[in-house]
Structure 1
């Protein structure tokens, strides 16, 4: 159904829905446009409208071949309740749709897409603007020229929407799979958070999954802070070193956007012609952690949408504050409290997900393997002690009347038993 936005634009049909609102195909004085209309609950917030008005120049001022241009910001509308961004129309899918269809991209395509977006980020960061929500859903692929030119959209929107409103404090908003560790720890987001998120996207384009995703979002956030990404086999060493550096936990260790774009472009000849990686799905980390409250773990598992328990990365909205209801409109953007130090310290420290070669049988995670070995050692030791006790009883009651104190009160050889229970 057609709807007027401002005095010059009309919407025709929905192109997509995101965490902040709905994107419509629209018509304006200069032809077709994309119009992002913010959700009604956001548009009705006078503080948010004021922030958008204050940032109008920044929203309209970013121009780059890899950034979706914003033509106009509309605040008010016919009924006074609209906040809308009129943007250039990009004829092509978003990167999520493309990745879902291809599953994994060839390294050359993945690196080229990432390099383009990095060059757009470099311009934004130079202007003092941090995107804060870089993810495949916010990267559009322009197919008008026959290729896949990547354009980053929604610049500045995350910052304006996510700032605490109505006195709220201590919360973080974002998509857990792409959130930099410093955001999880409650530190102010700087340009380095965009680098972390973009290289997480690069990892996902190559592997078919994110380095720390899978299971409940709370577990994903913990891995962002405590774990390291599993190395991807089959890519040039120089590319892996760039990925590793940009996924560093310390923001200062990451490359700047302009450096990342330059380094990736230099690598394009080295990855030309390489096929998509032939690797199996990752071995997921366990959903529970040693020492966790079983009741809390059950409550967390109950909050996970269907399909998440299998270890498949889930992007559904899941409340991280117990008792809160998920918002179905925020499919990839989750509001949560900042985990405290004790929660962030939980879990194993190591590689979050183990890469399996294609065709290799799925094995238990390193955490499961270590636990199983400990259980086996305890079981064998317990069996040895029980046997020793039985032997001592036989000596006491039926062993020919010998004094049990003669052999030290245990069975023969007990003192020589090692930790595995073997003599």
Structure 2
């Protein structure tokens, strides 16, 4: 059913729903558009509407081949909408759901595109704040790039900032998606451009490995890992690419590269990655339920317990929490998070067996349930072998002793030898 959006646009068909609103296929004076219609409760927030209008100039001025351009911002009665370019393709999350991981050349080419888009945004003073596969679109109608990759465009600029009003998210709240949150955001510091670099490096790691470096299990455990753990090595990637990932995932924001540097260095590495197959590593397993239980029993998971959505048991692959209490993630997975910033003592848990260490395919993760079961089996086998060896040794000793008793020399007492002749 068609509906008017302001005086210039008509929305015809719903493309997806999210925690922040609904995306429609629309029509405007210049042709097809995508219209992101924000929720009515957001549209009725006068403070947010004011911020929406203030952001208009900056968002409309952001044009780049790797950014989904915002053509217009509509404030009309109960309608609050962003009118954006329509990209004929899919999002990166859908691609990951299908392929699990990408060949390094394609992964690096996609992330280099996004880094170029971020460089333009940062130069204009705009921080995305929610870089993740759901917000990266792939243009299926354009020419193919390195490794058969499609041109990548970053979308939803400004949405996280628009929603993040002081009234809606006090100093004790977090806006973002847990798997991609920079440590400084978890610790309550104001976001800078470096938070986008951290999130983008997390996306690259996920494209290569099939899982994020600090994700999995309860949201509280995910947040703690961002602050306390180092990224685990990925076997099979060139050292130069790994060093770039490590630098961009540094805990200190000042240690990370700028977006333009990330794009340039990634493109330099493309020739060395040509023809390399996807990595053959297994996702860490067996720890999600243990971490959720550990968070509940140790007291370090208080923040995460508050943040978990109703009905969550902590065993989901991703720690995404809807902005609206009780809302469920849906088709376009627009999962802005609102959760309490953990206190210092809650973040002091350290690794304590929660590290998600990639490993060769088929090998159990150190410390995982599979690894402990294998260790127990080895101990049982070793123990049984030891018992058998002791038993065999005992039988041999008995046999030797019995032989001495039967074959002793002379009429003397058993076991006594005859005196030597003078």
The TM-score with structure 2 as length reference comes to 0.80
Q: Which residue of structure 2 lines up, in the alignment, with residue 343 of structure 1?
A: 346
Partner of 1:48: 48
1:97 maps to 94
1:205 equivalent in alignment to 2:210:
no
- Residue deviations 1:132-155 (CA, integer Å, cap 9, x gap): 000000000001124311000011
SS at match of 1:101: helix
1:19 matched to which residue of 2? 19
Residue 231 (structure 1) shift: 0.7
Supply the distance in 2 between the matched residues of 1:256 and 1:298 (Cα, whole angstroms).
31
Change (3 A) 1:300 1:358: farther
Q: How far did 1:162 drift?
A: 1.2
Query: Per the alignment, in what secondary structure is the counterpart of residue 90 of structure 2?
Result: coil
* Contact persistence 1:284–1:352 (CA under 8 A): no
Count of aligned pairs: 365
Partners of 1:265 and 1:173 in 2: CA distance: 31
Instruction: Say which of 117, 120, 128 aligns to 1:120.
Output: 117
Q: 1:7-406 alignment to 2 at 5 Å?
A: 7-76=7-76, 80-147=77-144, 148-165=150-167, 168-283=170-285, 285=287, 286-287=290-291, 288-289=293-294, 292-293=298-299, 308-309=314-315, 313-317=317-321, 325-328=325-328, 331=333, 332-348=335-351, 352-361=355-364, 364-365=367-368
In structure 2, what is the Cα distance between the partners aligned to 1:344 and 1:315?
17
Q: Is the 8 A contact 2:92 2:134 kept in 1?
A: yes
Question: What whole-Å deviation, never above 9, does each CA across 1:264-288 have from its counterpart, x for those lacking one?
Answer: 0000001111001111121454414
Structure 2 SS opposite 1:354: coil
Residues 245 and 305 of structure 1: CA distance in aligned 2, closer, same or farther (over 3 Å): farther
Change (3 A) 1:349 1:45: same
- More deviation, 34-43/163-172: 163-172
SS of the counterpart of 2:360? Answer: coil
RMSD: 3.0
Structure 1 portions without partners, runs of 5+: 377-423
TM-score (norm 1): 0.79
1 CA distance for matches of 2:251 and 2:54? 33
Residues 1:47 and 1:239: Cα distance change in structure 2 (over 3 Å): same
For the 8 Å contact 2:353–2:367, the answer to whether it is kept is no
* CA shift digits 1:212-264 (9 cap, x unpaired): 00111111000010011111111110000000000000000000001000000
Report the CA distance between 1:349 and its aligned residue.
5.9
Q: CA deviation at 1:295?
A: 10
- Distance, in Å, in 2 between the alignment partners of 1:361 and 1:246 is 28
Q: CA deviation at 1:351?
A: 7.2
- The 8 Å contact of residues 229 and 350 in structure 2, kept in 1 or not, is answered as no
Between the aligned partners of 2:169 and 2:306, the Cα distance in structure 1 is 28
Q: Which residue of 1 aligns with 2:411?
A: none
* Per-residue deviation, 1:298: 11
Alpha-carbon distance between aligned partners in 2 of 1:126 and 1:251, rounded to the nearest angstrom: 17
Q: Does the Cα contact within 8 Å between 1:74 and 1:83 map onto a contact in 2? A: yes
Change (3 A) 1:276 1:305: farther
Over 3 Å counting, the alpha-carbon distance change for 1:107 and 1:307 in structure 2 is farther
Consecutive unaligned residues of structure 2, counting only runs of 5 or more, are 145-149, 380-422
Show structure 1 runs of 4+ deviating over 4 A: 288-291, 294-308
SS in 2 for 1:11: strand
Partner Cα distance (2:53, 2:309) in 1: 38
Moved more, 155-164 or 247-256: 155-164
- Secondary structure of 1:252 counterpart: helix
The whole-number CA distance in structure 1 between the counterparts of 2:284 and 2:64 is 36
Q: Distance in 2 between matches of 1:167 and 1:223?
A: 23
Q: Contact conserved, 1:203 with 1:210, CA < 8 A, in 2?
A: yes
Structure showing greater radius of gyration is 2
In structure 2, the residue corresponding to 1:203 is in which secondary structure?
helix
Q: CA deviation at 1:363?
A: 5.3
- Say whether the 8 Å CA contact 2:177–2:320 is kept in structure 1: no
Contact 2:33–2:85 (8 Å) recurs in 1: yes
Structure 1 residues 72, 102: CA separation in 2 closer, same or farther (over 3 Å shift)?
same
Q: Is the 8 A contact 1:279 1:355 kept in 2?
A: yes
TM-superposed CA distance for 1:329, in Å, is 5.2
